[in-house]
Chains A and B, each alone.
Chain A
Amino acid sequence: MLSFEKLHKSFGKLHVLQGLDLEISEGGVFAILGPNGSGKTTLIKSVLGMVIPTSGKILLDGENVIGKWEYRENISYLPQIANFPANMSVKELIESVKGLRQKKSNEHDLIALFELEPFLDKKLSNLSGGTKQKVNIVLTFMFECPLIILDEPTTGLDPLSLVKLKRIIADAKDAGKTILVTTHIMSLVEEIADEIVFLLDGVIYFQGSLAEIEEQTEQSSLELAIASILEKEKA
């Protein structure tokens, strides 16, 4: 469904993506892992057109999307840091974002799920970090999009909300959607991911299932497996 061909991206002298090739098949949860600065966010942002690749192709259902914008109708994105216009209320923000898309939305269920009703008329600047993240999650999941991209989705969430988020992700997966997640929380990956994409120095170092990465590194958990890859690279 989504594929990258020889993707390069430099920021000045820093060569972040170095000819990355990747194939993401339709349906399932893909965890994009890698140490800090390995290019995870750059990769995600280039799918969204927020970062413009230096060269290479990004194909969504066979069509190169670089420089286009209409295709974003079919992508939901949860950004890492959520900051909204300070003077708007939660309700107004949701209405405004709805106005930018053609698709129907089901925000009511999500608002009820995260118990956001008391905050609907509050100004966004008065919300706590966790509540903002919940609003962010509502904005992401209220549209039915075949591709969902989550950048560090758990930031600031309490355990109960985290459980709810995992359930939403599981439901989306059951509905046949493709979900890309970046996170540093390995237990989350072990719980939800079908496939692991490990980025190192701007190329794909490993792509496969959880069992495969553990087997390949002869480790008993994902955390240890990743640690052993990184250690080997350093040596």
Chain B
Amino acid sequence: MIRILKFSFADLARSRWSYIYFAFYLVLGFTLLFLNESLGKAIVTLINVIIVLTPLIGTMFGTMYYYNSKEFTELLLAQPVKRSTIFLGQYLGLSLSLSGSLVVGLGIPFFVYGITKSGEIWDFGLLLVAGFFLTFIFVALSFNIALSNENRIKGFGYSILMWLFLAVIYDGLFLLSLMVFNDYPLDKASLFATVLNPIDLARILVLLKLDISALLGYTGAVFRKFFGTQLGLVTSFTILILWVVLPVLRIVRKAKKKDF
């Protein structure tokens, strides 16, 4: 599997898009630090970018990469290599290269501005961990969609819809339900709904760590009570890990049965 991983990684490391993605974070990091002149504020601004953008890029690259390397995958399938090895190798290669762009691209400007000597290092670290998870989750989800759809236009469409649903529509429905069921106690329900969506979960995790949860009002207090505890933290990370593991298991299962 390491060989296939190296394969995809080497291929992607030379792709123009990886560099554009990397350069984007580099420029973004420097710009935010230059404009905010404070590590803390720059991190807060970054939250929204990372929470929305890493899933989108993961989705788009995941789908694109799967379809573009289809013929090459066929060449690999004829080699003495296990199927699951091929697909897991490609998945890890892509996810690692994308999250690498994120970590290095943002890491350089923040390092230059002295993040390692400041108190915000843990906030920044958590933000990167959130971006890491979101990348792995959305690449896995988009691989799933691409594996199930021979038609690449359809596959691409479904992937973008999936992202749109989790990043935008889900929150809309969530707010709508809060309005409709206003008369009921909703803190448990909203906690539950937040935990189920990886994007919301990542956002809340970072926001709470940054100590700006006062902005979240009463619900924020409930969230704080939950996420602040050991159990809350363990639960959230378990769910994020499940969001990676379950789609990956489906990739393996689906790949075993597929005809090429």
Chain A interface residues toward B at CB < 8 A: 11, 45, 48-52, 69-73, 75, 77, 79, 81-88, 92, 96-97, 99-102, 139
Q: How far is the CB of B234 from chain A (nearest CB, A)?
A: 38
Q: Tell me how many residues of B have a C-beta within 8 Å of chain A.
A: 26
Query: Contacts of A87 on B, CB cut-off 8 Å?
Result: 11-12, 14-15
Query: Contacts of A73 on B, CB cut-off 8 Å?
Result: 80
Q: Considering the complex, give the chain A residue whose CB is closest to the CB of B258.
A: A52
Query: Contacts of A88 on B, CB cut-off 8 Å?
Result: 10-11, 14
Knowing that A52-B257, A79-B74, A83-B70 touch, tell me 11 more A-B residue pairs with CB under 8 angstroms: A45-B259, A45-B260, A71-B80, A77-B78, A87-B15, A96-B7, A96-B10, A100-B76, A100-B80, A101-B80, A139-B75
Q: A48 to B77, alpha carbons, bound, how many Å? A: 8
Contact: B79 with A72, CB < 8 Å?
A: yes
Q: A11 to B258, alpha carbons, bound, how many Å? A: 11
Chain B interface residues toward A at CB < 8 A: 3, 7, 10-12, 14-15, 68-72, 74-83, 257-260
Query: Contacts of B81 on A, CB cut-off 8 Å?
Result: 69, 72, 100
Contacts A87-B11, A87-B14, A96-B7; is A101 near B259 (CB within 8 Å)?
no
Counting residue pairs across A and B whose Cβ atoms lie within 8 Å, the total is 72
Q: A7 to B116, alpha carbons, bound, how many Å? A: 64
Q: A75 to B15, alpha carbons, bound, how many Å? A: 32
- Where chain B touches its partner, the secondary structure class is helix
Query: Contacts of B70 on A, CB cut-off 8 Å?
Result: 83
Contact: B71 with A81, CB < 8 Å?
A: yes
Query: Contacts of B258 on A, CB cut-off 8 Å?
Result: 52
Q: Considering the complex, give the chain B residue whose CB is closest to the CB of A49.
A: B77
Contact: A48 with B71, CB < 8 Å?
A: no
Contact: B72 with A84, CB < 8 Å?
A: yes
Q: A75 to B82, alpha carbons, bound, how many Å? A: 15
Contact: A97 with B79, CB < 8 Å?
A: yes
Q: How far is the CB of A104 from chain B (nearest CB, A)?
A: 15
Q: Considering the complex, give the chain B residue whose CB is closest to the CB of A139.
A: B75
Q: A83 to B67, alpha carbons, bound, how many Å? A: 12
What are 26 residue pairs bridging A and B, where the CB atoms are less than 8 Å apart in the complex? A48-B77, A48-B78, A50-B260, A51-B259, A52-B258, A52-B259, A69-B83, A70-B80, A72-B78, A72-B79, A72-B81, A75-B78, A81-B71, A82-B71, A84-B75, A85-B7, A87-B11, A87-B12, A87-B14, A88-B10, A88-B14, A92-B10, A96-B7, A99-B3, A102-B80, A139-B75
